[in-house]
Amino acid sequence: MSTPLGLPTLRSGTADVPSLPDGVRLGKKDFTSGSEVRWCPGCGDYAVLAAVQGFLPELGLRKENVVFISGIGCSSRFPYYLDTYGMHSIHGRAPAIATGLVASRPDLSVFVVTGDGDALSIGGNHLIHAMRRNVNMTVLLFNNRIYGLTKGQYSPTSEVGKVTKSTPSGSLDAPFNPVSLALGAEASFVARTLDTDRKHLTQVLRAAAEHRGTSLVEIYQGCPIFNDGAFDVLKDREESVARLVRLEHGQEVVFGAEGSQKAVVRSASGFGVEVVGLEEARAAGREPVVHDVETADPSLAFALSRLDEPTMAHVPVGVFRAHSRPTYDDGVRSQLDAAREASGGPGWRAGDDDLEALLRGGDSWTVE
Amino acid sequence: MSTVPDPQRSPEQPAHRVDKQVEVLERVVIRFAGDSGDGMQLTGDRFTAETASLGNDLATLPNFPAEIRAPAGTLPGVSSFQLHFADHDVTTPGDAPDVLVAMNPAALRANVHDVRPGGTLIIDTDDFTPRNLAKVGYATSPLDDGSLEGYRVHALPMQSMTVEALKDLGLSRKDAERSKNMFALGLLSWLYERPTAQTERFLTAKFAKRAAVLEANLRSFRAGWAFGETTEAFPVRFTVPPAPAEKGTYRNVTGNAALAYGLVAAAHRAGLPLVLGSYPITPASDILHTLSGLKRFDVTSLQVEDEIAAVGAALGASFGGALGVTTTSGPGLALKSETIGLAVALELPLVVVDVQRGGPSTGLPTKTEQSDLLQAMYGRNGESPVPVVAPSTPADCFDAAVDAVRIAVKYRTPVLLLSDGYLGNGAEPWRVPAAHDVHAVDPDISTDPNSTADDGMTPQFRPFLRDPDTLARPWAVPGTAGLEHRVGGLEKADVTGEISYDPANHDRMVRLRRAKVKGIEVPDVTVDTGDHAGGHDHADSDLLVLGWGSTRGPITAAVREARRRGLRVAQAHLRHLNPLPANLGEVLLAHEHVLVPEMNLGQLALLLRGRYLVDVISCNQVRGLPFTSTEIVEAIEDVVAGRVRPTPRRDAR
């Protein structure tokens, strides 16, 4: 039996978070803690940290209302470097811990920092359940396709055949595509960006933070020590133009260099999408698909996510989905409010008398 | 046909009253037994509620299979509910039933051997067909073959009488038969002069939206009562006068409900919102159910994807300034271990409730055991001390929960609250406390920096600067300006909370965490020497019986019995397993022999031997049921008579 929940209409992800007084602005420095940053030279995490420290002030929030919760792995050291509230928790569990915090504190902007091993291997269950519930938090999933902190074993996003210390004959298991996984779990906001594209990274992170619900941002992040060059083809200027499919809401999905542009069109079978030459497509009357992040049906976004393949011939980046649906934590709180209101009207709080009535129950008796 | 109950036919005023002799009893133990679909738990609950409101003291023992509906009419499918009520203080559900209500051959077969010789059997005969008898291994019907000669047998076609009473309601026979438990309840309510108004109110509320079902249940209940009143089969009814009790307001309560109320009351008194993270597991789920219905008390209940997420969500909420609680049973506690270790490192309040059941692994989900003590104490990596609190009776679950909250909040630590299946499902009368009698712990959430920077001027927050008395660290929550800080599972530097790999710091932090838990204020254990000591010291006792948790009832009953037999026996019971009471070592050393009954293979005994070098004698059973007092009396007699001795010491060889 399902009951209409009467949930509130959706607002920004930070709508209940106190903002700074007018005229007060914070800068990158305000979000930088005194801890010495200890990632390897050349690690992609530095770029993401700089981008996060750079865009947080743009949100205009009081920094004491910003919380970063991480799991275990190289990227999970992240909270130590931000002068906000933070918790470096245990392997894979950050989404679960954040769920409890978010459900009880609407006035916080909560970020989860995780990696491909943390989020998709040991913590896969928590991640998918956070996404299906639509808990109002932003998950930064640093995907370097390798286990860095344990020194170079393959990860659940490593390509099949990956030779590592733990897979000297090549890894056997097929990788997750984190964007497909998130869309499959019906995450309400799903995006992909790259550590090397500061502007894109900042735009995507900001949109993710302002989305109300679970935002999953996959960040391709280079590990120069254990998976060097994994994303090189996307860093080369010419190659990246040919390969990166930049998704823009309301725009036709076309990409590639001037003169050799490609289009993403509905596949002939009717399911999914395929890449064809733009000219060729137009000549055949096959119009490029128009990207719509807001649509409730995640099928087209999922089809776009499937363009990605191990060779990285076409890599869609940007926001795949930004759909508004009720969040878990708003629902949890509205049920509490409704129960209180039913007990004594708006603003009612249980008093000692109410507690005593609860303890007595319906079937008490008195001994004189 | 009317579906509205006719007040003229209320069972208090039957149509044909037959005067019957009334016999006054001090105590009665009744066991209701039937198929797991027969509604025996409900029947037992209602009889208990009627009995409680009459002012008898009581204790209950629900006992049911893990299967929701085991195959009908089979021995594994038998579900039972035992109730002991008396005109005096009752401590156990009773060793041997005086009365067995058996709704089918399986229920009779599975339970008759527990009934005391000469006891009463009230048997529903409708299911005594050759097929059903064969199913449970009866070659001949025990109703006819003389095998029940040692009992007073009332063989009644209760099912047929129920169907007859409902014949004009237009129900199918199957639907009509389902009310036979209410017929039995009505009959037993008459037989023991129980008040019926409450049960009628209960049924009316329960079936408010199903008029036909309500009518069927009410009519069956009244038919059972009326049958008792009019039949020649029961020439005598019984009454058990109320037990003396302290002044106050009382109710009947199960351990799981009392525990949930204790958490809510303690959080309410502390002014903290309560956030429960939980995953359904037998026998703890009723705590989740109860708390889920208490949203008006600022209780958030999150049923999440697994046990790990449940404790994670609770800890996340504690980080945000709520009282985080998670509830589970043994297998779930195993899954939560790593997160409890994180809570030890973070030094945040957290209450972890383990309603213990038979193990290892899935074990006996619906049966009781005390075998998670060592898991609670040591089931984590590293030196990871956690306070452990154990309630000893169903009503005591309330006080133990309040105490667990006090320790968690005051000392910023996870606390393990070790209930068990017997306490959780068992019920007893409870004197309801006033709100101001519930301890109000001060959350003392930080609002300002607690120190200054090296310049001696600039205010600075140091998240691991401890309270010198309690060694508790400050609880600073997100949203508080100027107190931004990071915590985590990596070792932290003392005072500053920065990451530290310094060997001396780690050694210090490990010892500080231990010292904090060791220093938790817990009351001394009291020793009850009964009357025999006459104010003399403990050494007058031949034996100290020391227990923890739910063995209190059977131990108390056994010690009383042993004293009746002239033995000089002292009794003590532990509420706090970590830290142990400061005077415990002295108490142990003051007795020549210490007997430790446990529903495990000697876990407290191991702790006591390790800690105090005292060679306690274990008395163990793990049958999934509470001790009978008889078992413990025998163990006491064995020790006193010298038949059982501690392990010989090397110097004694």
pLDDT of residue B48 exceeding 60: yes
pLDDT of residue A119 exceeding 80: yes
DSSP string, A271-322: SSEEEEEHHHHHHTT-PPPBP-SS-S--HHHHHHHTT--TT-SSEEEEEEEE
Residue B263: predicted pLDDT: 98
Nearest residue to B73 (alpha-carbon basis) of B22, B32, B128 = B128
SS (H, E, C) B148-194: CCCCEEEEECHHHHHHHHCHHHCCCHHHHHCCHHHHHHHHHHHHCCC
pLDDT of residue B15 exceeding 80: no
d(CA B93, CA B111): 15
Question: Does A93 contact B312 at a Cβ distance shorter than 8 Å?
Answer: yes
Return all residues near B121 (Cβ < 8 A) that are at least 6 apart: B99, B100, B102, B108, B112, B115, B148, B151, B152, B153, B154
The fraction of chain A above a pLDDT of 90, given in percent, is 92
Min Cα separation A105/chain B (Å): 7
Instruction: Give the best residue of B279, B315, B486, B491 to mutate against chain A (max A CB count within 10 A).
Output: B486
Q: Which of A83, A88, A367 sits opposite B248 (nearest CB)?
A: A367
Weakest mean pLDDT among A128-137, B7-16, B229-238, B340-349: B7-16
The pLDDT tens digits for B337-356 are 999 999 999 999 999 999 99
Question: Does A103 contact B275 at a Cβ distance shorter than 8 Å?
Answer: yes
Cβ distance A233 to A194 under 8 Å? Answer: no
pLDDT band at residue B535 under the 50/70/90 scheme? very low
d(CA B451, CA B561): 60
pLDDT of residue B14 exceeding 50: no
d(CA B516, CA B412): 10
The pLDDT tens digits for B62-71 are 998 888 878 8
At the topology level of CATH, where does B250-437 sit?
Rossmann fold (3.40.50)
The owner of tokens 């008490």 is A364
Q: Which of residues 117-146 of A touch B (CB under 8 A)?
A: 125-126, 129
Indicate the pairing of strand B99-102 with strand B120-124.
parallel
pLDDT band at residue B20 under the 50/70/90 scheme? confident
Q: Which of residues 40-79 of B touch A (CB under 8 A)?
A: 49, 52-53, 55
pLDDT of residue B482 exceeding 90: yes
Nearest residue to B372 (alpha-carbon basis) of B312, B343, B329, B413 = B329
Nearest residue to B263 (alpha-carbon basis) of B379, B348, B389 = B389
pLDDT band at residue B426 under the 50/70/90 scheme? very high
Average pLDDT over residues A346-357: 96
Sort out which chain B residues have CB atoms less than 8 A from A347's CB and list them: none
Residue A5: predicted pLDDT: 57
In chain A, what's the furthest Cα-to-Cα distance? 96
Average pLDDT over residues B207-227: 95
Chain-centroid distance, C-alpha B403: 16
Cβ distance A245 to A200 under 8 Å? Answer: no
In angstroms and rounded to an integer, the radius of gyration of the C-alpha atoms of chain B is: 28
Instruction: Pick the residue from chain A with its C-alpha nearest to B326.
Output: A100
Q: Which of B305, B315, B484 sits opposite A97 (nearest CB)?
A: B315
In angstroms and rounded to an integer, the radius of gyration of the C-alpha atoms of chain A is: 23
Residue A25 burial (CB < 10 Å; 0-12/13-18/19+)? Answer: exposed
pLDDT band at residue B646 under the 50/70/90 scheme? confident
The pLDDT tens digits for A223-253 are 999 999 999 999 999 999 999 999 999 999 9
Residue A235 burial (CB < 10 Å; 0-12/13-18/19+)? Answer: middle
Q: Tokens representing B346? A: 């973070």
The pLDDT tens digits for A219-231 are 999 999 999 999 9
pLDDT of residue A191 exceeding 70: yes
Q: DSSP assignment, residue A136?
A: S
DSSP bridge partners of A316: A245
pLDDT of residue A3 exceeding 70: no
d(CA A204, CA A188): 14
Q: Which CATH class is domain B17-239?
A: alpha beta
Instruction: State the span(s) of chain B assigned CATH 3.40.50.970.
Output: 250-437
SS3 content of chain A, % helix, strand, coil (to 5): 35, 20, 45
CA distances from residue B414 to A67, A72, A117, B29, B389 in whole angstroms, order as listed: 22, 21, 28, 40, 11
Residue A4: predicted pLDDT: 61
Weakest mean pLDDT among A339-353, B15-29, B556-570: B15-29
pLDDT band at residue B10 under the 50/70/90 scheme? very low
Q: Does A283 touch chain B (CB under 8 A)?
A: no
**Phi, psi torsion values for B631, nearest 5 degrees:** -60, -45
Indicate the pairing of strand B78-86 with strand A315-322.
unpaired
pLDDT band at residue B540 under the 50/70/90 scheme? confident
**Phi, psi torsion values for A207, nearest 5 degrees:** -60, -40
Average pLDDT over residues B145-169: 95
pLDDT band at residue A311 under the 50/70/90 scheme? confident
Which three-class secondary structure state does DSSP give residue B247?
A: coil
Question: Does A350 contact B295 at a Cβ distance shorter than 8 Å?
Answer: no
Cβ distance B433 to B264 under 8 Å? Answer: no
d(CA A13, CA A6): 19
pLDDT of residue B219 exceeding 90: yes
Indicate the pairing of strand B323-328 with strand B274-278.
parallel
Min Cα separation B449/chain A (Å): 14
| CB-facing half-sphere around the CA of A339: CA atoms within 13 A | 18
Q: Does B198 touch chain A (CB under 8 A)?
A: yes
pLDDT of residue B9 exceeding 60: no
Return all residues near B264 (Cβ < 8 A) that are at least 6 apart: A355, A358, B274, B291, B294, B297, B299
pLDDT of residue B40 exceeding 60: yes
* pLDDT, chain A, mean: 94
Peptide bond before residue B579 is cis, with ω within 30 degrees of 0? yes
Instruction: State the span(s) of chain B assigned CATH 3.40.50.920.
Output: 538-645
The pLDDT tens digits for A84-112 are 999 999 999 999 999 999 999 999 999 99
CA distances from residue B634 to A24, A105, B637 in whole angstroms, order as listed: 78, 56, 5
Q: Tokens representing B122? A: 């009230």
Q: Does A244 touch chain B (CB under 8 A)?
A: no
Could you tell me the residue ranges of all domains in chain A? 28-251+291-331, 252-289
Residue B200: predicted pLDDT: 95
The owner of tokens 């897979």 is A167
Sort out which chain A residues have CB atoms less than 8 A from B338's CB and list them: 90, 93
DSSP string, B509-522: HHHHHHHHHHT---
pLDDT of residue B652 exceeding 90: no
Min Cα separation A330/chain B (Å): 12
Question: Does A358 contact B261 at a Cβ distance shorter than 8 Å?
Answer: yes
Q: Which of B249, B304, B346 sits opposite A99 (nearest CB)?
A: B304
SS (H, E, C) B188-232: HHHHCCCCCHHHHHHHHHHCCCCHHHHHHHHHHHHHHHHHHHHCC
Residue B90: predicted pLDDT: 94
Weakest mean pLDDT among B345-354, B422-431, B528-537: B528-537
Chain-centroid distance, C-alpha A188: 10
Q: Tokens representing B204? A: 């009316």
Indicate the pairing of strand B274-278 with strand B299-303.
parallel
* pLDDT, chain B, mean: 93
Q: Does B485 touch chain A (CB under 8 A)?
A: yes
Angle between helices B40-53 and B197-206 (to 10 degrees): 140
Nearest residue to B427 (alpha-carbon basis) of B62, B6, B124 = B62
Residue B7: predicted pLDDT: 37
Question: Does B320 contact A101 at a Cβ distance shorter than 8 Å?
Answer: yes
> Burial letters for B295-309: b for 16+ Cβ neighbours within 10 Å, e otherwise?
bbbbbbbbebbbbbb
Cβ distance B393 to B352 under 8 Å? Answer: no
At the topology level of CATH, where does B538-645 sit?
Rossmann fold (3.40.50)
Q: Tokens representing B42? A: 């409900």
Q: Measure the CA angle with vertex A229, ends A227 and A233; round to 5°.
A: 140
d(CA B643, CA B550): 27
Residue B648: predicted pLDDT: 60
Q: Does B334 touch chain A (CB under 8 A)?
A: no
Pick one of 3.10.20.30, 3.40.50.620, 3.40.50.10490, 3.40.50.970 as the CATH number of A28-251+291-331.
3.40.50.970
d(CA B3, CA B209): 12
Question: Does B55 contact A361 at a Cβ distance shorter than 8 Å?
Answer: no
The fraction of chain A above a pLDDT of 70, given in percent, is 97
Q: Does B261 touch chain A (CB under 8 A)?
A: yes
Min Cα separation B402/chain A (Å): 13
The pLDDT tens digits for A129-183 are 999 999 999 999 999 999 999 999 999 999 999 999 999 999 999 999 999 999 9
pLDDT band at residue A362 under the 50/70/90 scheme? confident
